[in-house]
Amino acid sequence: MRITKRTIDQVDLSGKRVVIRCDFNIPLDDSLQITDDSRLRAALPTINHVADEGASVILCSHLGRPNGEPIPELSLAPVAKRLRRLLGKDVIFAPDCVGPKVKNLVSQLKPGDVLLLENLRFHPEEEQNDETFAAELGSLGDVYINEAFGTAHRTHASIVGITRYMKVAAAGYLMKREVEYLEGAVENPTRPFVAILGGAKVSGKIGVIENLGKKVDKVIIGGGMAFTFIKAMGLEIGRSLVEDDMLEFAKRIQEHAISRGVKFYLPVDCVVAASLDPGAETKILPVQEIPEGWYGLDIGPASVKLFGEVVQNAKTILWNGPMGMFERDAFSRGTFAMVHAVANAYALTIVGGGETALAVHRAGESDSMSFISTGGGAALQLLEGNDMPGLAALPNR
C-alpha cells in the first residue's frame, strides 16, 4: 500500500535547513546508559539522506515525561553521544530546543552538519500544541520531516503546530514504512491473515478488535485480556485479570467473529500462580480448572502448540500484545514460544510495537520479523482505522 502523504524523496533538500522530528524516547538505565537504541537506528536512513543531499540537519525529540520541567535525568545528551557513534560524525548538542542560543547554533550549521536539540517536553508548550512555541520551532528551518511515528498520535507542537510554520513538510522513511506496513496489512493482506492480540485489557484494544475482526481470517487472543473472554464463556478464572464491564462486549465479539466465518482461538491451558509474589507456587492447568484465588499469568504448553499450528499456514501475521506477564521468567515461556512460532512462519510478520517489540527483542528474533513498529500507541491507533494528527498535518502527495 502506498502512503498518500508527501514523503522525503519528493522534497528538494539541497542547501536547506531541515528540522526532523524523531522519536528518540528510548530506555535508559539508572546510570543513564541507553539500553536499547533501535529507535535511533531506525531514524538513520532519513538523517543520512538529508545530510547526503547537502542539507543541514536539526533533530528534535522528547524523552520521557518531564511535565514541562528541565529534568537532568531526561536530557537527550546520551542520545547525542550514541548518535555520534552511529553516524560516525560529530553531533552538536544544543542546551535547549528554542531561544537565542539555539538560533545561534542553527545559523552556524553547514551542509551535512547535525544538531540535536534538547528535550522538547522540557517546555509545557510542546504538549499544549502552543502556537508561539510551534512558530519558534518552525523558524529554525526550511523543511520539516516527521519521522516520529511513535508520537504521531499526539497533537503536540512539534508534531502538528510546526507544520503551519514551515514552507515544506513531509514524512520520513520510517514514517512511510510504518504506515505502508500497518495500513497495508489491514487493507490488503495476503491470506490467510492471522491477528494475535494480547496484553492486559480488552478495553485498550476495543477499536483494534472491532476493526481487525472484519478483516482477518483467524484471531488469537492471549494475555490478561483472554480471561475476560474466558469468564464471558461462564468459566471460573480465580483472581486472574478481568474487566467485568467488558464481558458482554467480549461475548458479542466472539459470536460476531464466528458468525462471519472467522476462526477465534482462546487459550486452552494456562500457567497459574498462588499469588503475585515472585517466588509463589505455580501450576499448569486447563482453563476450566483455575482454582479459586489463583492468578492466570501466562498461556500454557497446549495453548502454545495450538496457537503455533494456527500461525504455521498464515501468509500475513499481525501481532499486538504479549501472551502473559513475560517480564517475569516464570511467565515468559508462552510469549517467547509465540515469538519463535511467528518468526518461523513463512509469512509477512508485523509486530505492533511497545511490549510486543520488547518481547521479540528479548527472544532474539528481531531480525526474523518482516517489520517491527516503533510505536505502541500509534500502531494501535492506526490499526483501529483512526486518523493520526501527525499524519493528518502533513500535505498529500
Q: What is the mean pLDDT of the chain?
A: 94
Q: Which domains does the chain show, CATH number per domain?
A: 8-177 (3.40.50.1260), 189-383 (3.40.50.1260)
Residue 376 has pLDDT above 90, yes or no: no
Helix (H) or strand (E) holding 344: helix 333-344
Rounded Cα gap, residues 48 and 59, in angstroms:
12
Q: What is the pLDDT of residues 246-271, one digit of tens each?
A: 999 999 989 988 898 999 999 999 99
Residue 115 has pLDDT above 70, yes or no: yes
Q: What is the pLDDT of residues 217-250, one digit of tens each?
A: 999 999 999 999 999 999 999 999 999 999 999 9
Is residue 68 a contact partner of residue 127, using CB atoms and an 8 Å limit?
A: yes
Q: What is the pLDDT of residues 25-53, one digit of tens each?
A: 999 999 999 988 989 999 999 999 999 99
Between the two ends of the chain, the Cα-to-Cα distance in Å is 14
Q: What is the pLDDT of residues 327-357, one digit of tens each?
A: 999 999 999 999 999 999 999 999 987 889 9
Quote the crossing angle between the two packed helices 38-52 and 77-87, to the nearest 10°.
60
Rounded Cα gap, residues 50 and 111, in angstroms:
9
In a 10 Å sphere around its CB, with 0-12 CB exposed, 13-18 middle and 19+ buried, how is residue 81 labelled? middle
201, 305, 315, 362: which one is catalytic? 201
φ, ψ for residue 243 (rounded to 5)? -115, 100
Residue 378 has pLDDT above 70, yes or no: yes
Is residue 216 a contact partner of residue 261, using CB atoms and an 8 Å limit?
A: no
Residue 319 has pLDDT above 90, yes or no: yes
| 301-323: average pLDDT | 96
377 labelled catalytic = yes
C-alpha triplet 384, 387, 389: angle, nearest 5°: 130
39, 154, 239, 333: which one is catalytic? 39
352, 353, 354, 376: which one is catalytic? 354
Residue 275 has pLDDT above 80, yes or no: yes
15 labelled catalytic = no
Residue 196 has pLDDT above 70, yes or no: yes
Residue 313 has pLDDT above 60, yes or no: yes
354 labelled catalytic = yes
| The predicted structure's pLDDT at residue 214 | 82
| The predicted structure's pLDDT at residue 1 | 57
39 labelled catalytic = yes
| 296-316: average pLDDT | 97
